[in-house]
Amino acid sequence: MIAGAALLPPLLILPTSGADEAADRRLQEAFTDAAREFQVPRSVLMSVSYLQTRWDSHPGAPSVAGGYGPMHLVDTERLRARAPGTRKPDGGHSAPRTGAAGALTTDTAGPSARHAVQPADLQHAARLIHTPAERLRTDAVANVRGGAALLAATQRQLGKPLSADPAVWWEAVAHYPGTRDVTSAAAYADDVFALIRKGAHRTTAEGQDVSLPATPGLQPHQRTTRLQGPQRPKEVECPAELACDWLGAPYVEIEDGDTDYGNHDLGDRPRDQPIEYIVIHDTEAELPSMFQTVQTPTESSWHYSIRSSDGHVTQHVRTKDEAWHSGSQFVNARSIGIEHEGFLAQPGTWYTEQMYRASARLVRYLTKKYDVPLDRQHIFGHDNVPAPTADSIPDMHDDPGPFWDWRHYFDLLGAPLRATAGPDSDMVTILPDYAKNTPRFTGCNGHGALCRPHGSSAVRLYTEPDERSPLIQDPGRRPEGDDSTEDVNDLGSRVSTGQTFAVADRSGDWTAIWYQGRKAWFKNPRTQPTAVGAAGRMVTPKEGLDEIPVYGRALPEEDAYPEDVEEPTESPLPYSFLAGQRYVTQAGVGSSYTAKSFSDTPNPVVWGRERYYEIQFGHRLAYVRASDVDIVDASAAAAGPQGETAQPTGQ
Q: Model confidence over 404-445: pLDDT tens digits?
A: 999 999 999 999 999 999 999 999 999 999 999 999 999 998
- Residue that finishes a domain, picked among 402, 437, 469: 402
pLDDT bucket at 66, cuts 50 / 70 / 90: confident
Helical (H) or strand (E) element with 348: helix 347-350
Query: Partners of 548 in the beta sheet?
Result: 577
Same domain, 222 and 267: no
Q: Is residue 115 over pLDDT 80?
A: no
Residues 230/246, Cβ–Cβ less than 8 Å: no
Q: Is residue 48 over pLDDT 60?
A: yes
DSSP state of 153: H
Same domain, 95 and 22: yes
- Residue that finishes a domain, picked among 196, 226, 256: 226
Phi, psi of 588 (to 5 degrees): -90, 155
Q: Is residue 1 over pLDDT 60?
A: no
Q: Is residue 586 over pLDDT 60?
A: yes
Same domain, 153 and 214: yes
Question: Half-sphere exposure of 399 toward its Cβ, with a 13 Å CA cutoff?
Answer: 22
Is it true that the peptide bond before 288 is cis, omega within 30 degrees of 0? no
- Residue that finishes a domain, picked among 199, 226, 253: 226
How large is the average pLDDT for residues 391-405? 96
pLDDT of residue 231: 73
Q: Is residue 481 part of a domain?
A: no
pLDDT of residue 103: 36
Least confident of 278-292, 384-398, 468-482: 468-482
Domain that holds residue 189: 4-226
Q: Is residue 532 part of a domain?
A: no
Same domain, 162 and 57: yes
For the chain, percent of residues with pLDDT exceeding 70: 86
Q: Is residue 519 part of a domain?
A: no
Same domain, 343 and 314: yes
User: Which CATH number is 323's domain given?
Assistant: 3.40.80.10
Q: Is residue 467 part of a domain?
A: no
pLDDT bucket at 637, cuts 50 / 70 / 90: low
Least confident of 231-240, 294-303, 308-317, 391-400: 231-240
Q: How many domains does the chain have?
A: 3
pLDDT bucket at 82, cuts 50 / 70 / 90: low
For the chain, percent of residues with pLDDT exceeding 90: 73
How large is the average pLDDT for residues 280-294? 97
What is the C-alpha separation between 171 and 220, in angstroms, rounded? 9
Which value, in Å, is the radius of gyration of the alpha carbons in the chain?
A: 26
Could you give the C-alpha distances from 336 to 198, 204, 316, 352, 588, in angstroms and in order? 31, 32, 11, 22, 19
**520-562 pLDDT, tens digit each:** 999 999 999 999 999 999 999 999 999 999 999 999 999 999 9
How large is the average pLDDT for residues 192-205? 94
Least confident of 20-24, 67-71, 238-242, 278-282: 20-24
Q: Is residue 96 over pLDDT 50?
A: no
Same domain, 204 and 126: yes
What is the C-alpha separation between 246 and 237, in angstroms, rounded? 9
Same domain, 162 and 273: no
Q: Is residue 154 over pLDDT 50?
A: yes
pLDDT of residue 230: 52
pLDDT of residue 133: 95
pLDDT of residue 7: 36
Q: Is residue 449 part of a domain?
A: no
**120-136 pLDDT, tens digit each:** 899 999 999 999 999 99
Same domain, 272 and 255: yes
**Mean pLDDT across the chain:** 87
Q: Is residue 465 part of a domain?
A: no
Same domain, 111 and 16: yes
pLDDT of residue 61: 87
Same domain, 216 and 302: no
- Other beta carbons within 10 angstroms of residue 641's beta carbon come to 6
Same domain, 239 and 212: no
**Pairing relationship of beta strands 277-282 and 379-381 according to DSSP bridges:** parallel
What is the C-alpha separation between 69 and 561, in angstroms, rounded? 59
DSSP state of 29: H
Q: Is residue 113 over pLDDT 50?
A: no
Same domain, 237 and 221: no
- Predicted TM-score (pTM) of this structure: 0.88
Helical (H) or strand (E) element with 593: strand 583-594
